[in-house]
Chain A
Amino acid sequence: MKAMYAYRLRMIIWIFYDFIILFVQYYLWNAIFSSSGGSLMDISLSQYLSYVAFGLVFSRLVSSDIDGEIAQEIKNGTIAMHLLKPYSYFGAMTAQRVGYTVGQAIALIPVTLTILFLVDIPPLSPFLLGATLVSMLLTYALVTVLQFILGILAFWLTNYWGLFLFKQNIIALFSGELIALNLLFRLGRSGIPNFPVPWIPEGVMQNIFLGLGWISYLLPFQAMAYTPSGIFTGMIQGPWPVLGHVALQIFWLMALSGLASHTWKRAQRHITILGG
């Protein structure tokens, strides 16, 4: 935490940026929805706005830069110092990440308060509130494990910047951050009333959207963003879909943890052989 507030200027810049994103998204979706008569594919403006706004807060809350940090430590060799000490590297990184999150949460207060004024808060039953909390915790764990894996990949990759870009863009599309996943399915299933590009067959476009939806569910990223904000804002409706999404998160957490410990073992062998 102290390390974080040492960079106060940095924090102020990010808070400012979050505000800009929030307002830009607010006006953008307002313009879009008002051009379509208030609702888009049965989703109302206030529901979509709350999805976008809380999606922003949730994603900031679970974000961290431990992947970059691990990659850095691998590149300059300081990781060897950690290995000499009697604690798990993963544990140390997680502890560091939790500290970062506390700072992050404090920095998010102004934006969150603004959101509470700006958008309608979805009605929440105790079940949904509980599911959101559980889902948030799972998301947090999932992001931690994923970032750990990505960081370790620096052992084998030279162009970490390329991976970073790749990660950002793939996650943006397949996690539901750019567009809610249920919209992809609705687009694919319902006919497209207005076809903006006349020379692409409608069926092809519908299949692209459906395909994107399915790929999203085959990849772990939707479990790291869409699930908590989707449950919270009612984009995921009904008790069974909610439980199903949470179960999927648990599955991904186990799968990725397995992958992480496997990669870590191989990476450790790599260090021991090459001497860092």
Chain B
Amino acid sequence: MIRFFRIYSAFFKQQVKSLIEYKLDFAAGMVALGFQQVASFLVLFAVFSQIQAIGSYSFDEMLLFFGWAQLMKGFDHVYNDNIWTVGWWRIRDGSFSQFLIRPLGIVSQIVMERLQFDGLGEFLIGLLIFIYAFIRTGLRFSFGDWLVFGYFFLCGLVIYFALKLLGASVAFWTISSGELMTVTYEIGSFTRYPLDMYKSAIIRSLLIYVLPFALVTWVPMVWFIREPQFIADILGIPWARGSALLGFTGGLTLILLGLSVGTWKAGLRRYNATGT
């Protein structure tokens, strides 16, 4: 673990150097991503200029989901962006093999090889919106609330991580899985809006069980602003109230992580065997 962080910090220094070298690329990426969020924010604003609430959610509550979703996505984007290269081309052009010959875990190498500073823009805008919405909705957190909050934050990061790893693993069989990863990732952006807006059992189940982005964005926020019964009803799981909901979230997160690590390992064996 200590060794991991020592090497990581060495990589980190190199990253910052290249960042200083290519200021313009960095700025372009940040502006582009920031622009995307300003645009979706304007749409939200436009809609709320005509109505008081969508369903049961006020504008400030919607911002809470919106900000949180961006914050999570941005955080993941910064530290865990390199895995995309496996899905897109590293298997196809064979450059994946370089990870196999180094004396360090493959996933660790992929994570530390590149930090994506473009995601900082997403993260910061998300953080600002979140803090604003947090104040406006009058939320007050006790120590216990902060613990739950941190727990959801971790679960969310793990879900993102696991979904991307799973998507990239598919490339071991199909040579390239960039499209699959893109689609998975894009579906995540639908959870910027509360889950109960989608009055369809299929879409809800998809976002809870298959690509559990609802657990990344909706559950953590709605936990603090609605009654447990309300959440359980929307989820369609009567027992998932209070600490049971925490258990449910963590359980699903672990299952997904196990599944994705398993697939990754199976893929690696296949890659080693054929050498392609």
Contact = CB atoms under 8 A, between A and B. Distances in A.
A206 to B, nearest CB: 9
Interface string A147-175: 00000000000110111011011101100
A10 B54 contact: no
Interface in B44-89: 45-55, 59-60
Nearest to B49: A192
B39 A28 contact: no
Interface stretch (A29-37, A220-228, A238-246): A29-37
Nearest to B174: A9
B4 interface: no
B43 interface: yes
A170 B32 CA distance: 8
A contact residues, range:
35 or more
Contacts of A173: 35, 39, 42
A179 interface: yes
B33 interface: yes
Q: Is the interface of A mostly helix, strand, loop or mixed?
A: helix
Nearest to B181: A13
B28 interface: yes
B179 interface: yes
A1 to B, nearest CB: 18
A187 interface: yes
Contacts, number: 114
B6 interface: no
Contacts of B50: 36, 40-41, 192-194
Interface residues of B, number: 42
A162 B43 contact: no
A188 B272 CA distance: 61
Interface stretch (A15-23, A77-85, A95-103, A138-146): A15-23
B31 A20 contact: no
Given A36-B51, A178-B39, 15 more contacts: A27-B198, A35-B52, A35-B54, A41-B50, A158-B25, A165-B36, A169-B39, A172-B39, A173-B35, A173-B42, A178-B43, A179-B43, A187-B46, A197-B59, A209-B46
The 9 closest A-B pairs by CB, nearest first: A196-B59, A162-B28, A165-B32, A196-B48, A173-B39, A36-B51, A159-B25, A166-B32, A192-B49
Interface of B: 22, 24-25, 28-29, 31-33, 35-36, 39-40, 42-43, 45-55, 59-60, 174, 179-180, 183, 186-187, 190, 193, 197-200, 202-203, 206
Interface of A: 9-10, 13-14, 16-17, 20, 23-24, 27-28, 30-32, 35-36, 40-41, 158-159, 161-163, 165-166, 168-170, 172-173, 178-179, 183-184, 187, 192-197, 205, 208-209, 212
